Amino acid sequence: MSGAIWNLMSFIVALGILITVHEFGHFWVARKNGVLVKRFSIGFGKALLRWRDKQGTEFVIAAIPLGGYVRMLDERVDPVLPQFKNLAFNHKTVWQRMAIIAAGPAANFIFAIVVLWLMYMVGVQTMRPIIQDVAPQSIAAYAGISPQQQIVSVNQHQATDVSSVNLLLVEQIGDDTITLGLKDIVTERRYNVELDIRAWQFDPETQSVFSSLGLGLARPQALTEIASVAKGSAAQRAGLQVNDKILRIADEDIIDWNQFQQIVANAPEKALSLVVARDGNELTLIATPELVQASDGFSQGVLGVTPKVSEWPPGVLYTQRYGAFAAIGAGVSHTWQLTRLSFAMIGKLLTGDVSVKHLSGPISIAQGAGATASIGLVAFLSFLALISVNLAVINLLPLPVLDGGHLMYMLLELIRGKPVSEKTQEIGFKFGALILLVLMGIALLNDVSRL
């Protein structure tokens, strides 16, 4: 199965699950409050499958899997006979209507907790955030951070693994400082350091949040031994073989793979004298890197070899696994962290601390769905939780076309003692739809530019 088809199928499955959960929240609370639900649809357009339950609700699975809706009896939309007015949405109290609208996002939050609860019971292999090296003249270096320290908190928020530290660091974009809690892995001494991030430049498209601060985490390292040689490559023509160890290029000793890769990248179509160790002997080979244009538009040299990598450093990898009750707490905590980050990022978009070029649309989501589904169940569950929280948060934004906009109008109704006029609501819906379409257009353009 091609990657594009796999991504599309994974996207449809993920979106179908999340939309069903969201709309079921509206549906369930509407019924509990005595509202007649006329239709529960997953998708738009032509109905592929439909059935009706004993209470008269028509359930539909439609052809376009990009959304869904719950259509309730409402006197503002449908003619309603006097004897059925008590079943209409608009005849319920403001608090009942608010509960029905809020139930969609609430269902997504609950779903995230349940998914993460299951994930933590199955067990998640993760990494301890142990600092292996610090880049010279970086933000971390100026803060006095040294290697062999484990990050244990960010701005007083406890962090037990690389994923949680990553989320907490991203949340601080646009601030002036970050307080890191560190633990020396030799002496176990705990202390805090303050990072000055006023000049922090972080581009998630090209770097990790850790490398942008100058932090290199403990992980397997690329060795100077060759693991594979691409067929028909410059390396194969030069006679390089698997298990060859790169010793020198010309008179320069090769200390690590990054050094070797940098020399090759800077020498397109230039003959390089490579000294390699093979079967206990030293051989000199002449290799000419091919000229290749990188994604950023710059040309570079490529030989067509990949390195062997070292084993994981001891104590870095571990499995987060909890019992049934402890996993609930872990799921709630993780969901709250994702929620806080989502609201923080929206705020930073409004203030300009985060650029709109980092918005992601359906193509990026599909790629994420496909990638995590390929890794396995645990990764896919984590992805579902993340997108479910994002869906809930976005729906709570006070745009009239979203659940948050409806809640805003109902809150005004509570304050004013009467509903907002239909004309005002209609203007608001048009304005909200325009903003949403613009944001979706920007996100889609960003997706296309990343292809």
| Catalytic residue set | 23
Using H for helix, E for strand and C for coil, what is the string for the chain? CCHHHHHHHHHHHHHHHHHHHHHHHHHHHHHHCCCCEEEEEEEEEEEEEEEECCCCCEEEEEEEEEEEEEEECCCCCCCCCHHHHHHCHHHCCHHHHHHHHHHHHHHHHHHHHHHHHHHHHHCEEEECCEEEEECCCCHHHHCCCCCCEEEEEECCEECCCHHHHHHHHHHCCCCCEEEEEEEECCCCCEEEEEEECCCCCCCCCCCCHHHHHCEEECCCCEEEEEEEECCCCHHHHHCCCCCCEEEEECCEECCCHHHHHHHHHCCCCCCEEEEEEECCEEEEEEECCEEEECCCCCEEEECCEEEEECCCCCCCEEEECCCHHHHHHHHHHHHHHHHHHHHHHHHHHHHCCCCHHHCCCHHHHHHHHHHHHHHCHHHHHHHHHHHHHHHHHHHCCCCCCCHHHHHHHHHHHHHHCCCCCHHHHHHHHHHHHHHHHHHHHHHHHHHHHHC
228 Cβ contact partners less than 8 Å away, ≥ 6 residues apart: 242, 305, 306
Structural tokens at position 6: 């796999």
Q: How far apart are CA 200 and CA 207, in angstroms?
A: 13
Sign, Cα dihedral of 80, 85, 89, 93:
positive
